[in-house]
Amino acid sequence: MEVGGGLTVAGFVALAAGIPVGRMADRWGPRRLWALFLILEACAMAGFLFVNSFPSFVAMACVSQFAAAASQTARMPVFRRIGGANATRLRAVLRSLVNIGTSFGALAAGIVIAVDTRFAYAALILANAITFAFNVLLVLLLPKLAPLRSRSEKATGMALRDRAFLAVTALNGVLALQGPVLTFAIPLWIVQHTEAPRSTVAILIVINTVMIALFQLNATKGINGVKGAGNAARSASFGLLVAFALFGWTSAFEATIATSLLIIGVIVLTLAELRYAAAEFELSFGLVPAHLQGEYSGVFGLGQGLAASAGPYLLAVLVLGVGTNGWIALGVLMVAAGLLVPPAVAWAERTRSHEPEADSEANA
């Protein structure tokens, strides 16, 4: 309970990173800023070795989560400028690789939990810190990216005044609530509300991880521009409704049928997640003015950050508290948000303005 509370506090603290770090990326250059926050992530991860009380855990978690959010904000402009017209496909490839890495990390964590010694836990934490340090070296091998704005130039605040972009950001944040479903809601749902064996959780996570690793790149096909991304987000929302309905119905059946419904549900969920992620990638690039990549990326990340921070609590109340009807309600919420994405994207396209000079500089 304390760990969950500490991580929730850290998640909300991390929301403060987005906008200022985004503005810094525009002024200082995103690559060096990304490397800087990766160093901070490495130090914060190593710092967990010295945690000996709840307050120290919360403090270190806040630093770690803040650094992670700042790192994500800084790397978005890097992906756009290096990827160019293929930035969405680049994000898709990287997401596939991240899922493969996550699988190995989960395997290592499982081994450590089985060993259950202080030395094993410390070795895992230190190994994770080293991976961040190694990432710093990889980032520094990327091409240098010049700042898009003068360091003396005042912040525009344009992203926070762009109501159409804020609408897309908010809707994306609602759809991002599907993120904690598999890692948080499903394990507790299986234990508390179904007859399915607990080992089903591992099977579902493997299915999800393998599908993302294999099919995320293919999911970007057909999404040409932000209009296609809006339509993809809408179609993904209906897939989420179907998946959530299947999860909810598992409570009414015995173990074999419940397990089968969970497996079918996670396949549908992952297909919808793949489509949603591809749409999110395109929207995060296509609706962002070239000369304000960092600032807009920081604002766009707020929706995702809120979903990550508040999502588990909302799922606990709506799904675990209400039951099957809660799953249906969550699915309806997804569809409502999905239906609003295309008109919000069209609104953002009408109101956005690109400066040709900034575009050419971004592609330099």
What are 271-285's pLDDT values in tens digits?
999 999 999 988 988
Tokens 């989960």 locate to 106
pLDDT of 12 reads 79
Contact 277, 179 (CB under 8 A): no
* Rounded CA separation 78/34 (Å): 9
Q: Is the pLDDT of residue 361 over 50?
A: no
Residue with the bigger pLDDT between 247 and 179: it is 247
Side chain identity at 226, as an amino acid letter?
A: V
**What kind of architecture, by CATH, is found in domain 1-143?**
Up-down Bundle (1.20)
pLDDT of 231 reads 94
Residue with the bigger pLDDT between 145 and 64: it is 64
Helix (H, G, I), strand (E, B) or coil at 224: coil
Q: What is the mean pLDDT of residues 313-318?
A: 86
Give the number of other CB atoms < 10 A from CB of residue 59. Answer: 18
DSSP string of 183-201?
IIIHHHHHHHH--S-TTHH
pLDDT of 111 reads 82
Which tokens hold the place of 331?
Answer: 């699915």
pLDDT of 359 reads 41
Q: What percent of the chain has pLDDT over 90?
A: 37
pLDDT tens-digit map of 33-90: 899 999 999 999 999 999 888 888 889 989 998 898 888 888 888 888 887 777 788 8
* Rounded CA separation 287/349 (Å): 7
CA distances, 27 to each of 66, 136, 270, 302, 354 (Å):
20, 20, 38, 20, 18
Residue 249 makes CB contacts below 8 A (sequence gap 6+) with 261, 324
pLDDT tens-digit map of 250-308: 999 999 999 999 999 999 999 999 999 999 988 988 888 877 788 888 888 888 888 87
Give the number of other CB atoms < 10 A from CB of residue 6. Answer: 18
CA distances, 134 to each of 16, 35, 109, 129, 131 (Å):
26, 10, 20, 9, 5
What's the distance, CA 252 to chain centroid? Answer: 32
The DSSP letter of residue 354 is -
Closest among 49, 22, 44, 46 to 33, alpha carbons compared:
22
pLDDT of 169 reads 93
Torsion angle of C-alpha atoms 48, 51, 54, 58, degrees rounded to 10? -40
Phi, psi (degrees; rounded to nearest 5) at 292: -130, 40
Q: What percent of the chain has pLDDT over 70?
A: 92
CA distances, 336 to each of 201, 237, 244, 342 (Å):
29, 8, 14, 12
CATH 1.20.1250.20 domain extents, the chain: 1-143, 156-352
Total residues belonging to the chain: 364
pLDDT of 232 reads 94
Which tokens hold the place of 301?
Answer: 């990340």
Rounded to the nearest integer, the mean pLDDT of the chain is 85
Contact 294, 24 (CB under 8 A): yes
pLDDT of 3 reads 59
Q: Is the pLDDT of residue 173 over 50?
A: yes
Q: What is the mean pLDDT of residues 227-237?
A: 94
Residue with the bigger pLDDT between 357 and 179: it is 179
**What kind of architecture, by CATH, is found in domain 156-352?**
Up-down Bundle (1.20)
pLDDT of 102 reads 74
pLDDT of 160 reads 82
Question: Lowest-pLDDT range, 14-23, 34-43, 120-129, 195-204?
Answer: 14-23
Contact 358, 290 (CB under 8 A): yes
* Rounded CA separation 175/177 (Å): 5
Q: Is the pLDDT of residue 147 over 80?
A: no
Element (H, E) at 340: helix 324-351
pLDDT tens-digit map of 99-110: 788 777 777 877
pLDDT of 321 reads 87
pLDDT of 151 reads 55
